[in-house]
A = this chain, B = another copy of it.
Amino acid sequence: MPKQAGFKRKAQITKVATNKFREKGYRAVSMRELAEHVGIEAASFYNHFDSKESILKEICFRMGNEFFNTINIALAEEKKTDKMLERAIKSHINVITDNMDASAVFLHDWRYLSEPYLSEFKEMRRKYEGIFRKIIKEGMDKGIFNKQDETFTVLMIFSSLNWVYDWFDVKGKFTAEQIGTNISKLILEGIRK
């Protein structure tokens, strides 16, 4: 079958791959399995992507950009430190809940990238974490957050955010907005009354 007008094979491949990678893990998904779900032969992928890894690459870096873009918008024009943290947290959670499959791939399968993309990816992530670190540090310096090792606090925050993809249920009782609000509150106030 030849080109079909009005539908983008490449986007479809990325979507299917994202879904399958999330479901089984990058290494456990074969090109032939992917092909079957897309509705083409495995060899036909190579008209759209250089390699299996380049599909992964696209998913990981697209998500990276998504996290950056969203948080930049969220933080613009907000000056109060605690509000900034809240916005950053909500932004992060929104990106995850809006891209559940891709988030899982982003968080798990990046390690199968080869150099130099692996280093590039890590650097990107480091920068993103830096946004949070800066807010936390500012809050501690101003005395509105408890003084603690800031790296520790940032890691702890990411830890609690980065499993959202694992248990957030789109049809469940919470909206992404509520999840964001609740997690922000838990992080800021703790669970003790």
Contact = CB atoms under 8 A, between A and B. Distances in A.
A193 B143 contact: yes
A186 B157 CA distance: 10
For the complex formed by this chain, how many copies does it contain in all? 2
A28 interface: yes
A144 interface: yes
By secondary structure, the A interface counts as: helix
A14 B166 CA distance: 28
Interface in A144-188: 144-146, 148-149, 152-153, 155-156, 158-164, 166-167, 173-174, 179, 182-183, 186-188
A193 B146 contact: yes
Contacts of A48: none
Interface residues of A, number: 42
A49 interface: no
B192 A82 contact: yes
Contacts of A24: 111
B173 A163 contact: no
Which of A108, A159, A189, A193 counts the most B-chain CB atoms under 10 A from its CB? A159
